[in-house]
Chains A and B, each alone.
Chain A
């Protein structure tokens, strides 16, 4: 199947700093990518839809100024958590559709101290 990578796989940062997470489709192009957040023992919650060449679409309740999304190319989307706080600690996962399927990255574990 198609491969989606994320970098970094885990990151620890201090409160108030910004963290950038990259999502890449390695063997296919993706005009759309999705960003999810998953808290321990919970389901995946969609945060936003990343659109190549246009602004991201955010789900209700997600602060667009806090979670900056940039779809820089047909294979790369980035999520920047700005002014991170401990409550932003979570598992962030991206996905990219190819054909009728969505392929997920391995996730990024963010811990904010």
Chain B
């Protein structure tokens, strides 16, 4: 119930493509769903987050789609760039102040 399942494990897209990363959760008590970007040897950095009262949120080139009934959410990266090559983690928690449960991560490579 505490797990967050993330797919795919790795992803390669060409520059300008739109990679999509998917996550699914079981615990309906989760009410905060952030996405983090991590570069090698660095800590995760918050990209964008959503709460279950909205179905979509956009910030710059990043969009979260949220399907409450299916207990799924996804990250779309528009006009992807080589600098977006990193590992992306979805996460979930009961409130932003609470401990996060992380997905397994997706290694994204954007080719020039």
- A residues within 8 Å of B by Cβ? 1, 4, 6, 32, 34, 41-46, 49, 91, 93, 95, 97, 99-107, 109
Contact = CB atoms under 8 A, between A and B. Distances in A.
Contacts of B89: 43-44
23 contacts: A42-B104, A43-B102, A43-B103, A44-B102, A46-B99, A49-B99, A91-B41, A95-B43, A97-B97, A99-B96, A100-B49, A100-B95, A100-B97, A101-B34, A101-B49, A101-B96, A102-B96, A104-B36, A104-B44, A104-B45, A105-B43, A107-B43, A109-B41
B46 interface: yes
Contacts of B100: 34, 44, 46, 95, 102
Given A100-B32, A101-B49, A102-B34, A44 B96 contact: no
A97 B98 CA distance: 8
Interface residues of B, number: 23
